[in-house]
Amino acid sequence: MNIDEKYIRRCLQLAALGRGFTAPNPMVGAVVVHNGLIIGEGYHRKYGEAHAEVNAIASVRDESLLRESTLYVNLEPCAHYGKTPPCAELIVKKALKRVVIGHIDPFGKVSGRGAEILRQAGIEVVSGVLEEECKELNKRYLTYIQHKRPYVILKWACSSDGFMDRLREEGDGQRPFRFSNDFTQMLVHKLRAEEAAIMVGKRTMLLDKPQLNVRFWSGNDPLKTTADSRLPLSEQLSALRGQKIQSLIVEGGAKLLNSFLNEELWDEIQVEIAPFILGEGVPAPRPKGILKNIEKCENSFIFHYLNASKP
């Protein structure tokens, strides 16, 4: 690992501290280095508040050192006025010597303009350092910007023989079969706290009346939404994007989940397989994509898949 990669990795650590609070903005961390020592660092804490570069520069005690310092940031500094002034202009004003960027921001009002402002001011700019790792951290933001829809996570739990519930009808008094143990239930609520919205089908809402909150974790409850059978899924995703929803968990029944799978409107799948055999019931969807990893959670397993055909 070279020096630039070392400090960009630190930016990623800082950026991740804003998870669940920065959307629809990206997660960004920044580090100021002078003569091989970190003299300032910061991250974007919450949407509408100061950006990472502002917090990092403000944390430097001796501002005279900035002229001989390098600023590291995992995403290109912004070049437009939004909730806050452009970070690129602040960097120019403080006359930093060098700026190292993880990757260029695809957002139309930035997209290379931030880096160009710095270069025009005589600041050395290096970009593309740990680019894939930086993109992975902000995959929700990138999907929102580039594909014009929220990042979609399909999630379900099933028995080891492939059923996700008993056969039930409204009013029969049966509750859904619980596959999750206490630990995996906590992980579900952690996931909800990190994503912007959650969708279920009308049948799931009628039969189960799920709370869809984060009562077993800390953080904000996701926006609850119910699938509308009168609209194609792409229209519903577009409507959510219009509400600045950057990510969506789909916890619906098999019909809704299969619709997302068949239309390739998904990015990630999480399947919990519990050590139970139902013998019959509602068949679980068949996961697609690339198996990323498998987690063992007490006596259950969680399989993580990524969409290999995502454009």
Assess whether 53 carries a catalytic annotation: yes
Catalytic member of 53, 89, 194, 268:
53
Tokens matching residue 163: 């059923």
User: Which of 227, 177, 230 minimizes the C-alpha distance to 206?
Assistant: 227
**H/E element holding 182?**
helix 182-194
Judge contact between 29 and 11, C-beta under 8 A: yes
CA 137 from centre of chain? 7
CB atoms within 10 A of CB 277: 10
Backbone φ and ψ of 174, nearest 5°: -80, 140
Compute the distance between CA of residue 192 and CA of residue 209 in angstroms, rounded to an integer.
Answer: 17
Judge contact between 152 and 126, C-beta under 8 A: no
Residue type (1 letter), 68? E
Residues taking part in catalysis = 53
